[in-house]
Homo-oligomer: A and B are copies of this chain.
Amino acid sequence: MIDVAREAGVSAMTVSNVINGRPGVSADTRLRVLATIADLGYQVNLAARHLRAGRTGAVGLIVPDLDGPYYAQLATRLARGVERRGLHLVLERTGASAERELEAISFGRLRMYDGVIMSLLRLDSADLEQVRFETPVVFIGERPVPETFDHVMMDNVGGARLATEHLLTTGARRIAVIGGKHDDHVDDMPSLRTRGYRQAHAEAGVEVDERLVIEVESFSSRSGYEATTRLHESGVAFDAAFVLTDAAAMGVLRALADLGVDVPGDAQVVGFDNGTETDFLVPRLSSVEPGNEAMADTILDLLDRRMAVPGADGAAQVTTMVNARLVLRETTR
């Protein structure tokens, strides 16, 4: 920068003013500086700007994974909003490992961003209270977070209840829940969705057969496939499957096709997330739409609010729950 200044015959300050489009530079000088910048191929040093001015121009999105369609689609929505605000979105993935989640929020790494949107799967509220956050953060996801943070959630329980109610209404009585939990004391995604499943059963006066609650290790298509195969081999009858994610539901559909089970004739299937792929499966997957658009908008509004006031995080903490609805396609009656 100092080179540009010398070459253009002005001070570094004037160059800075030109670069940042600040007023109070004569058109003449501005043009000369711009020409010199182009000439020398000068680029600002963002590290120096960051150190001095405190802002980086980036918003971080920290998510467990990107192979699944859910976070990838959320990222695309958020990116658009962030760019509209003159910033850019940067993603980090933790692979749902506690170690990497901790790394992402430690060593001052969050300070690399002007604001952060974060979905943590392993770390709990207590872990978070250990860390000092200097950056505005909005949490997403089901894990509880300390009271001081903004938090946007989808209605896991309500969405699951909607799906299960529909299955019960259409005559299903033995609904497998793929990815469910036997013990739903924790507030993570599988537990909450299983809770909705149980609530719908309770309201309908139908008892849950615990053998229909199938725990899985991950929510990949492969997991869904294997869980369905196991369930079938166990000989436990079922006339519907509520699958906790669309990705897993894809595996369930594939397994049912292999097993010669007709969908939705012999067994109905409902997924969760309403990803863009649901419309292209054979048969098309009915799914819980967790309010993806509203979610992205709410997250950005909250982050705006936090980022507006530079230092003080005076604004009251907000927890928002986005409404879910059911989208029926071909895997349900």
Contacts and interface: CB of A to CB of B under 8 A. Distances in A.
Q: Which among A48, A225, A280, A281 has the highest number of chain B CB atoms within 10 Å?
A: A280
Nearest to A51: B47
Contacts of A47: 47, 50-51, 56, 111-112
A215 interface: no
Contacts of A93: 75-76, 79, 89, 91
A95 B108 contact: no
Interface residues of A, number: 55
A44 B108 contact: yes
A66 interface: yes
Nearest to A77: B67
Given A79-B95, A92-B89, A257-B282, A107 B44 contact: yes
A158 interface: no
Contacts of A50: 47, 50-51
B46 A48 contact: no
A100 interface: yes
Interface string A229-268: 0000000000000000000001101100100000000000
B88 A90 contact: no
Copies of this chain, count: 2
Contacts of A276: 67, 220-222
A286 to B, nearest CB: 15
Contacts of A95: 76, 79
Contacts of A72: 66-67, 72
A38 to B, nearest CB: 10
A164 to B, nearest CB: 24
A132 to B, nearest CB: 5
Smallest CB-CB A-B distances: 6 pairs: A43-B108, A91-B91, A47-B50, A221-B280, A66-B72, A47-B51
Contacts of A104: 88
A46 B280 contact: no
A65 B253 CA distance: 27
A277 interface: yes
Interface string A265-279: 000000000001101
